[in-house]
Structure 1
Amino acid sequence: MPTAGAAVAHTAAAAFFDLDKTIIAGSSALAFSRPFRRQGLISRRAALRSVYAQLMVVFAGADEDTMDLLRQRITVLCTGWDVAQIRSIVAETLHEIVEPLVYAEATALIAEHRALGDEIVVLSASGLEVVEPIAALVGADRCLATRMGVDHGRYTGEIEYYCYGEEKAAAARAIAAERGFRLEDCHAYSDSITDLPLLEAVGHPTAVNPDRALRRAALQRGWPVLTFDNPVALRSRFRSRVPRVAVATGVAAVVLGLGWVGLRRRGGPAGLPSPTGA
C-alpha cells in the first residue's frame, strides 16, 4: 500500500481494484434488482430469490463449477432484454443506488494512489457498462469488465469477454506492458480468492474484506489485509469531476453486472436457486 512519505521514492505504476466489497459495499446485483423489478424485467419472486442467493453466497467458498452455473443462469435470464431499456434504468438510478455503497476507505486509497501518479484501473467480472460509470464515480482512469453480446439492440446471451480469474491477471499484464509499468511496482486490491492470479501478478497485493480462502492465502503469503466498513455517498465529493454523460454512456452488458457482481466470487452450492435479477 502507498504510505504518506512514499511520494519521493515512488515509481508511478498501476493500482488495480476489484469492484464488489473492495470499492463498494455489498452487491450491485442485489442493489439493482429493485429498479429492474419496477420496470417489469424481473418478478417479485425472482427478486426474493436473488436476496436468498446473496445471503447464501456470503457464507460459501469460491467454487468454479458453481460460478459457471450461475453465469449460465444469468445469461439465459437476460437473453432478449432491450439494451436501451437497461441503459435507461441504470443511468437513472446509478447515483441513487451506487453512491451510498462506495467505501470511504476505497476513495481515500484511490486518491492516495492518484496523488502518487498511479493509474487507477478497475477490473471486474461484472458487465462493462455498469462498471464504467461506477469507475468514473470513484475517479478511476480506466476499467476492464465482462462484455456481453448484443444483436439488433438486444442481449444475445453470449459472452464476448469474461473478465474473471486468470483473465484479470492477463489484463493487468497487458495494461502494464502498454503503459510501460513494471508489474513489481503495481498494486492490486481484492476481496476474493478468485482474484488470486491478479494479486500474485503484482508486486504489492492487498486483500480487502477478504473471503475465508483469500484471508488464508494472504496470511500465508504475508500480504496486507484491510477492512473497509464505511460506505458513504459520493455526490458531493465527485460531482464536479464526473459529467453525467459519463454515467449515461454504455450499459450494453449491464445485466452481467446485475447478476455477477455479488455472485461471481463466492458461488453457492450447486442447488442454489437462480439469482435472477441479482
Structure 2
Amino acid sequence: MQVYDVPVVFFDLDDSLINKDANSLWIKWRFRRERWAVVEAMLALASLYRAYKKGRVTHWRLSNYYRTRTRGMSLAEYQSRVERFFNERGQLHIYPQAASLLFAYQQRGTQLVMITGSDDVIARAYGQALGFAHVISNRLSTDGQRITGLERPMCYGPGKVELARRFLTERGLSFSDAAFYTDSHSDMPLLEMVAQPVVLNPNPQLRLAAQQHGWPCLDWRAE
C-alpha cells in the first residue's frame, strides 16, 4: 500500500478502518442485551440513517439520537458498556489491512489522526486499539454525569473541516500538509481541502466523485 509524504494523515473510522459503522454495531450488540435498544434502533433507522444518506444530519437530530442512545445511563455507565461492547464485538470488525497501513505511516513518523462522526467514548476505544495518538470525534456534552447531547461543531461535513483545521493550526500546519482517507461522500468538504485525498472502501457517490477528481481509491472489501 502506498503511503504519502505528508506530516499528518486523517482517517475516518466507520466503513473505512472498520467494515461496518460503529453505531450499527453498537445497536446490534445492545439489542441482544436490552429491550430499550429497540427504541434506539427505531429512532436511528427512521431518522438518523436516512438523514445521513441524504447528507442532512443536523446537530439537533444527532444530539437527540445520543440522548436516546444513553437514556438511563450516566457517562460512567455508558463508558463501561462501550468497553464491554468493544471487547466483545467492536474490535472484531477492524480491517486487517488497517493495521498494516497505519504501521507504515507510524514508521515514517507521521502524525495519525482519527476523525470520525462516532462519539468520543467509542472513538477513543478504537483509537487506542489502532494506535492513534490523536482522536477527533463528536464530543458528548454533559451536565455532571448526565449526557445531554453533543458539543458544537459536529464532527460531520463542514464541522469535520473546522475541527481538522483547528488541529493543524495548533501545530503550525495547514491542509497542504495533510492526507485524508474516508469512505463517505459526506466527507467531500474535507477531501477537497487536503493535499492528498484517498477514498477507502467508498460508497457509490464517493467512488464516482473519486473517478471525476482522479483521486486514488482503495477497496479492502474485495480483498
* TM-score of Structure 1 vs Structure 2, range by shorter chain: 0.7 to 0.9
Q: Distance in 2 between matches of 1:61 and 1:209?
A: 17
Name the structure, 1 or 2, with higher relative contact order (CA <8 Å, separation 6+). Answer: 1
Indicate the percent of aligned positions where both proteins have the same amino acid: 26
Q: How does 1:1-278 map to 2 (within 5 A)?
A: 2-3=2-3, 10=5, 12-37=6-31, 40=34, 42-43=36-37, 45-46=38-39, 49=42, 53=45, 62-65=53-56, 67-68=57-58, 70-71=61-62, 73-77=64-68, 78-79=70-71, 81-156=73-148, 158-161=149-152, 162-229=154-221
Paired residues, what number?
Answer: 219
Alignment check: 8 A CA contact 1:61 1:212 kept: no
User: Highest Rg: 1 or 2?
Assistant: 1
CA distance in 2, matches of 1:83, 1:228: 35
Contact 2:112 2:133 in 1 (8 A): yes
| 1:72 CA drift (Å) | 5.3
SS at match of 2:135: strand
Give unmatched runs, 5+ long, in structure 1.
Answer: 232-278
Query: 1:14 touches 1:119 (CA, 8 Å); kept in 2?
Result: yes
Q: CA RMSD in A?
A: 2.9
| Distance 1:74-1:36 versus aligned 2 partners, 3 A rule | same
| Residues 122-177 of structure 1, C-alpha deviations (whole Å, 9 max, x = no match) | 01111111101201111111011111221131112x32131111121222222222
Shift of 1:114: 1.1
1:85-144 CA distances to partner (integer Å, 9 max, x unpaired)? 211111223122122100112221111111111100001111111101201111111011
Provide closer, same or farther for how the CA distance between residues 211 and 38 of structure 1 changes in structure 2, counting only shifts above 3 A. closer
TM-score, scaled relative to structure 1? 0.69
- TM-score if structure 2 supplies the norm length? 0.84
